[in-house]
């Protein structure tokens, strides 16, 4: 995760150097970044099917090899069309096959009873990539140039990550029912059918809220430096804001892992969406750099920790043999929404000369997600996350929407 997201996020840090070296405009580079994000989402159904058919380990190896090859090709590019193919297409394919969905499927099969905690740990790799790889890439580009930076990124991904993936033990066999669950009864009772309807409704709600979470995610991270400069911050201070947000997000990941011992994942989602709404409103109506800094830290705290909690909830009762396809649907929505947010950010800024209108409007996304989750609390009543410990699993026990081993742990 650290390598895949670090290499992918490093592209944004290299854009200013590419613009200076080749004369490519910010709009051109932004369009290619939008293509990369959109294609990553559109490829998720194929990635999901490949994970279920061939195993997450093989898909990850293919993805990292493709991502490394894309970086090495980028070191040789001099024309915009070459950059589009290497970064916008091949880089997107490699990232789609080496990022969160296949890693989540692999970890979910390893740790079926502690899924949310395990996903929180591995998702922290996103922030480590931002904190370690991105600044190193920007420093190297300034010192040695963009071609050398891409060469180091590609070589590092191939030399360090691919052997590590080869050493990973083979994933457990994909069973037809979730690990730790009793086989389904051939003819479910009426209460079980009601619970199934609640579970399907809860899954749809979680998928929609996952998209609402993604809508401002990349757009805000890309806009923060310029937005801070527009409000009186120095270029150096503005450039440091994404790293501060990543550090806050890493802190949030650690805290989430601890809180999962005593709190239900869905309860933490309520808090994260509420905090994110506040962060976007602070950013939108910030009178100066100090408030922007506060909004940035709150945005970081409430951003990436949402991912493992939502994925764990969505796949709580998904058979191991269908984890890839189940995650693919959610990530298709997530990445499509993220690409829409990036495109909207560029368009609004080009039209108004400011990110303020978009930040004010997009604050409605996490607020709507919070309202949808609260209205769908009936799913919680089926798993005991609110009312108490879950009942013993039997053939006609309602199917929970969240892992009972996580939602009830520490609640007594």
pLDDT tens-digit map of 249-288:
889 988 888 888 888 888 899 999 999 999 999 999 887 8
Distance CA 56, CA 386 (A): 34
Model confidence band, residue 332 (pLDDT cutoffs 50, 70, 90): confident
Which is more confident, 193 or 235?
A: 235
* pLDDT value at 410 more than 80: no
CA 286 to chain CA centroid, Å, is 26
Distance CA 154, CA 7 (A): 8
Model confidence band, residue 68 (pLDDT cutoffs 50, 70, 90): very high
Which is more confident, 15 or 274?
A: 274
Q: CA end-to-end span of the chain, whole Å? A: 35
Distance CA 194, CA 220 (A): 40
Give per-residue pLDDT as tens, 344-403.
887 887 788 888 888 889 999 999 999 999 988 755 444 433 334 444 443 333 444 444
**Mean predicted confidence (pLDDT) in 232-250:** 82
The Cβ of residue 159 has, within 10 Å, a number of other Cβ atoms equal to 11
Which is more confident, 165 or 287?
A: 287
User: What is the share, in percent, of the chain residues with pLDDT greater than 90?
Assistant: 21
Model confidence band, residue 170 (pLDDT cutoffs 50, 70, 90): low
Side-chain half-sphere CA neighbours of 339 within 13 A: 20
* pLDDT value at 72 more than 90: yes
Helix segments in 23-91, DSSP class H: 26-42, 44-54, 56-74, 80-83
Token representation of residue 325 = 């396809």
Res 117: pLDDT? 75
Which is more confident, 105 or 153?
A: 153
What's phi and psi for 346, nearest 5 deg?
-65, -40
- Pick from 20-24, 325-329, 371-375 the range whose average pLDDT is largest: 371-375
**Mean predicted confidence (pLDDT) in 79-101:** 91
**Mean predicted confidence (pLDDT) in 338-349:** 82
Q: Is the Cβ–Cβ distance between 244 and 297 less than 8 Å?
A: yes
Distance CA 71, CA 66 (A): 9
pTM of the model as a whole: 0.71
The Cβ of residue 191 has, within 10 Å, a number of other Cβ atoms equal to 12
């Amino acid at each position: 995760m650290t390598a895949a997201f670090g290499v992918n996020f490093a592209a944004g840090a290299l854009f200013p150097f590419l613009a200076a070296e080749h004369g490519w405009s910010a709009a051109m580079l932004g369009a290619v970044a939008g293509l990369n994000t959109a294609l990553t989402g559109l490829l998720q159904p194929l990635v999901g099917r490949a994970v279920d058919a061939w195993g997450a380990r093989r898909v990850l190896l293919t993805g990292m090899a493709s991502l490394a090859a894309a970086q090495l090709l980028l070191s040789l590019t001099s024309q915009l069309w070459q950059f589009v193919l290497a970064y916008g297409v091949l880089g997107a394919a490699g990232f789609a096959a080496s990022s969160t969905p296949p890693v989540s499927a692999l970890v979910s099969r390893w740790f079926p009873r502690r899924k949310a905690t395990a996903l929180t740990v591995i998702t922290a790799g996103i922030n480590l990539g931002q904190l370690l790889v991105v600044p190193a890439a920007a420093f190297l580009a300034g010192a040695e140039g963009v071609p050398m930076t891409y060469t180091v990124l590609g070589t590092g991904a191939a030399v360090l990550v691919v052997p590590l993936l080869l050493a990973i033990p083979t994933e457990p066999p994909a069973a037809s029912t979730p690990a730790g669950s009793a086989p389904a009864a051939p003819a479910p009772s009426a209460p079980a059918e009601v619970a199934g309807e609640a579970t399907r409704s809860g899954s749809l709600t979680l998928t929609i809220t996952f998209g609402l979470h993604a809508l401002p995610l990349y757009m805000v991270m890309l806009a923060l430096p310029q937005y801070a400069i527009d409000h009186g911050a120095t270029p150096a201070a503005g450039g440091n804001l994404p790293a501060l947000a990543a550090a806050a997000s890493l802190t949030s990941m650690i805290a989430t892992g601890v809180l999962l011992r005593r709190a239900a994942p869905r309860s933490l989602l309520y808090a994260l969406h509420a905090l994110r709404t506040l962060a976007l409103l602070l950013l939108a109506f910030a009178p100066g750099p100090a408030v922007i800094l506060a909004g940035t830290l709150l945005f970081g705290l409430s951003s990436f920790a949402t991912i493992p909690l939502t994925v764990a909830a969505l796949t709580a009762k998904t058979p191991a043999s269908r984890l890839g396809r189940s995650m693919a649907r959610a990530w298709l929505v997530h990445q499509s929404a993220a690409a829409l947010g990036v495109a909207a950010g560029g368009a609004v800024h080009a039209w108004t000369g400011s990110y303020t209108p978009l930040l004010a409007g997009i604050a409605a996304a996490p607020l709507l997600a919070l309202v949808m989750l609260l209205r769908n609390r009936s799913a919680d009543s089926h798993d005991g996350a609110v009312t108490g410990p879950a009942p013993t699993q039997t053939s006609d026990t309602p199917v929970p929407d969240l892992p009972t081993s996580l939602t009830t742990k520490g609640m007594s």
